[in-house]
Structure 1
Amino acid sequence: MPANDTRTVGSVQRTCRIIEILQAKGETRITDLSEEVEFSKSTVHGHLATLVNEGLVVKDDHTYRLSLQFLDIAESLKNRIADHNIVRERVRELAEETGEVVHFGVEENGRVVYLAKSKGNAAVRTESKIGKQMPMHSTSLGKAILAEFPRDRVECIVQQQELAKRTKNTLTNLESLHEDLDTIEERGYSIDDEENIPGVRCIGIAVTVPEADVLGALSISGPSQRITDDRIENELHEQLAQAANVIEVNSMYS
């Protein structure tokens, strides 16, 4: 439900905020949590007690942390999108083959969410992690997915999320984005040309199955000096396409 919907429930929003803080901090005390979320200690205690009773939060002495039940929730969600074992294996193998960082992501609420990540032996350090959300217009994953969407859906996402400038190369107007999506459709893959992180280029490809929505996208990321146009066209594009095909075929017949 949209955040501005008048039917939202304040107590549930407070609980969600507490869960977000626990995720970010790992573990914390009621006093610190109360200051962070700006609720009274008694209010925070009530929410935590309920979460503990439901098995979503664990209390260790005077600190609280998220329970491992979230792992079960995460696994069930990942497996609803695609065969996660196949995705994870192909991402790992692709990282080994290329030596770079490989991601698999999906669209949710107009953002791209990382579901799998693996680093090759020459990979650069990135802040990406499983579950992290990123803009679609500045990432190769996001643009590969957007290119598969009807243009009216793209415009709705842009209206909702806007086109924030992340680097000097980020596409920040709808016309430029549409032109890039047209190019992606023609050549079959997307390029993040230092549009999300300075010095890093990425190539992405959508993962689709007939008579269904887009499953997600695969990407390879690395330093600009290694992710050259020549390497993209003559090596990385084909490797990505083969990996995507394996995931697509297994998703069709699983």
Structure 2
Amino acid sequence: MASGTDQAQRSFEDLLAEGEAVDVSGWDFSWFAGRATEERPPWGYARLVSQRMAGARAGLDLQTGGGEVLATIERPPPVLRATESWPPNLPLARAALAPLGGQVLEAPDAGPLPFADASFDLVTARLPVVTPWPEIGRVLAPGGTFLAQEVGPGSNIELSRAMLGGHLKPGGRFPADAVAAAEAAGLEVVDLREARLVMEFFDVAAVVVFLRKVVWTVPDFNVARFRPQLRAVHDGIRATGSFVCHPTRFLIEARRPERTGDGT
């Protein structure tokens, strides 16, 4: 593959066409090798999920995408389920998780979840579009854990502003709101960590693919509508070598309390 510098010297039109043609189904980001880099949070989410799933009785992964993260666990629990809302991702996830004995069900991001009350002692989610806290509280067994890595406030705001204008205020999810929602669902937050990271794009095709794939960065993104902004990003990359922005993430772990002696 050509280096990022070589990619940036290709014509604007060629790079736009390439970015529009890339398949953006699933959550496999291997296409970006040599085209973009993203710093990872220090807590190692995939490793944590693998450790927790190994000790679980029944595990559920919400909004699993193509099952990319869940498929990396070393030892699956006796019961392994996942949900996904986007139909093109369903066959990818089912193929990825079948070797682990996992079953993937179609379910809306905001719920309801197609499971009985207290079905799982572990529920996980990586970058959920929506975190359905009431449903998470419902399907967790007493003593069960919810572990998620979420997009934080103002994530990649430099890229959002490049497309939508410098006036854009930082939005997204705030950790304090997640804590309040977890507690409202009857859960106790036992861990909360935050990170501000660095991401670099080395050509405008990578920017296009990212915006098509990570749709909440610029809602209703398409190349034709944002062509002038993409041109400015392309020119900036040619001048400086990359476009830099800052993803934000937070890790939240919440538990459903054990039942008391009177069964409540």
TM range (shorter): under 0.3
TM-score by length of structure 2 reads: 0.26
TM-score by length of structure 1 reads: 0.27
* Structure with greater contact order relative to length (CA < 8 Å, sep ≥ 6): 2
